[in-house]
Amino acid sequence: MKKLSEELNKSYRLLIMIFSLSFVGLLLFFTVFMRSVSHKNIYSVYSFIEYEMGEFAEESLKVGDISKLFYGAIDEAPDVQGLTVVFKHKGKLYPNDIPKEFMDILGNDDFSPDVQGVGFYQYDFLHKKFQIDNMGQVDLLIIKNLINERAILINIVLISFILISFTIFLSVYISKKFYKKFISSLRELQETTNQIDLDNISHSVGAKSDFIEFANVMNSYENMLGRLKEQTEAQIDFVNNASHELKTPIFIIDGYINLIKRWGINDEKISREAIDSISEETKNMDSLVKKLLFLAKDNKSTLEITDFSLDKVISDIVNDLKIVYPKQSIFFNTKNHIIKSDYYLIKQLFFNLIENSIKYGKENPIEIDITSNKNIIVAIKDGGEGISEENLKHIYDKFFRVDKARSKNIGSHGLGLSIVNKIANILNIDIEIKSKVGVGSTFIVTLPTLNK
């Protein structure tokens, strides 16, 4: 695992290295540029002197003092700062007051026809030899003193060294200061996280930060803790309610078993009543367990998409429910609407919706109507007690029942519509509930014609 401080230091070192390399590149470019200017100055003066020397042969016959030719050429040459022109003819120098190192260059026969340099930005020079009629050999030396350029270069290097050193120091200081600001928030968040468990979930994080990005992370973390707290409380409530719901039928079954043990063995009437009640509670508990298992499963991974008739599914459900609820009137006119979906989940969805309408419909007739345009719409209408606006908000909550006392009598666990909501989310089905207290409820199910 990498440390944030090390990565920050690496990033700053990389930036400093890039900056330094860029500066060195610019410095090299500047030195090459200065040398290039020096060479151009020398060649510019050389071109003029060469032209002037082309007339020396003719002029030497007219002028008695040859030195006038050399001094005239020197005076008329372009004036360039730091540049010196020297002639050597028959052992004499023009001008004769030149530094010793210039004389050493003239005395060196091993020379190049191009501009050469001496030392580190000391001199650039061009040494040429000419054979002139009536005069013989003439040496030409053009020297450019680079002392000013070297001073500029050294000053630039020194200033740059100071700036780079200051930049490195400032970068280290800024990186440490930034790291301290950042790491303090991370440590506070870490300590808060280490203190959180299922018994102590608080969605208020004490860690604060000056950085927007980190503040956004902490806000997201707080929102996550809030959701986690809600889910934990919901799971605890679910487990408590499930335990309570299972405890009731078990308690009833145990009571009837004790009744049989005491008096039912020799009393057929008591035995039959107890067995019927145990059978009913067993079915009730079986239904509850199946619903709990369904809600706990991940049904998305086991979808089986096929083509089937929705009307046939609903007709089969109606026929099955009429056996369980023989007094219930259910009106349903079938046609032939073919859908593409998971047969088992669709059957579960409509079974729970229709059974819910029967249980809360006060034995009033149930009307089921199917229409189709772009989508298939199934409306299930009952004439029951209806649902208030306040209760509609909780209609899909697990174990929620509008009338808990009455729900016990009709065998409702408050899980049917939770299953319906889960199936609707899995199959991308839209469900709308229209209800009025004392009038009844209508569940409107909208299914895509090709439900994937």
The whole-number pLDDT of residue 406 equals: 42
The whole-number pLDDT of residue 409 equals: 45
| Closest-CA residue to 125 (of 97, 85, 91) | 85
Enumerate the H helices of 92-211 as residue ranges. 100-106, 147-195
| Same-domain check for residues 8 and 148 | yes
Measured distance CA(352)–CA(236) in Å, rounded: 25
| Same-domain check for residues 281 and 317 | no
| Same-domain check for residues 290 and 310 | no
Yes or no: say if 5 and 184 are a contact pair by the CB < 8 Å rule: no
Measured distance CA(429)–CA(349) in Å, rounded: 10
| Same-domain check for residues 229 and 319 | no
Alpha-carbon distances, residue 298 vs 256, 294, 394, 425 (angstroms) = 37, 8, 23, 12
180 inside domain: no
Of the three residues 128, 153, 178, the one that is the final residue of a domain is 153
| Same-domain check for residues 239 and 278 | yes
Instruction: Please state the three-class secondary structure of 287-342 as a single string.
Output: HHHHHHHHHHCCHHHHCCEEEEEHHHHHHHHHHHHHHHCCCCCEEECCCCCEEEEE
228 inside domain: yes
169 inside domain: no
Alpha-carbon distances, residue 77 vs 70, 97, 101, 114, 260 (angstroms) = 11, 18, 22, 20, 136
Using one digit for the tens of pLDDT, what is the confidence trace for 225-281?
777 777 776 676 666 656 655 665 676 677 778 877 777 667 777 777 778 877 877
- HSE, CB side, 13 Å, CA atoms: give it for residue 136: 5
| Same-domain check for residues 97 and 220 | no
| Same-domain check for residues 440 and 389 | yes
Of the three residues 276, 294, 312, the one that is the final residue of a domain is 294
Beta bridge partners of 128: 140
CATH number of the domain to which 279 belongs: 1.10.287.130
Structure tokens at 164: 């780079």
Residues above pLDDT 70, as percent of the chain? 76
88 inside domain: yes
| Same-domain check for residues 289 and 305 | no
| Same-domain check for residues 15 and 115 | yes
| Same-domain check for residues 284 and 385 | no
Using one digit for the tens of pLDDT, what is the confidence trace for 394-409?
576 655 555 544 444 4
Q: How confident is the model at residue 110 (pLDDT cuts 50, 70, 90)?
A: low
CATH number of the domain to which 391 belongs: 3.30.565.10
Q: How confident is the model at residue 412 (pLDDT cuts 50, 70, 90)?
A: very low
Q: Which domain holds residue 403?
A: 301-448
| Same-domain check for residues 394 and 352 | yes
Structural domains in the chain (count): 3
204 inside domain: no
193 inside domain: no
Of the three residues 244, 265, 294, the one that is the final residue of a domain is 294
Q: How confident is the model at residue 445 (pLDDT cuts 50, 70, 90)?
A: very high
Using one digit for the tens of pLDDT, what is the confidence trace for 275-322?
887 787 787 677 666 656 665 555 555 678 889 999 999 998 888 888
Beta bridge partners of 79: none
195 inside domain: no
| Closest-CA residue to 215 (of 175, 179, 176, 181) | 181
| Same-domain check for residues 94 and 26 | yes
160 inside domain: no
Using one digit for the tens of pLDDT, what is the confidence trace for 187-227?
776 777 776 766 666 656 555 656 676 677 777 877 777 77
Using one digit for the tens of pLDDT, what is the confidence trace for 28-76?
888 888 888 888 998 899 899 888 888 887 777 777 788 888 888 888 8
Yes or no: say if 386 and 424 are a contact pair by the CB < 8 Å rule: no
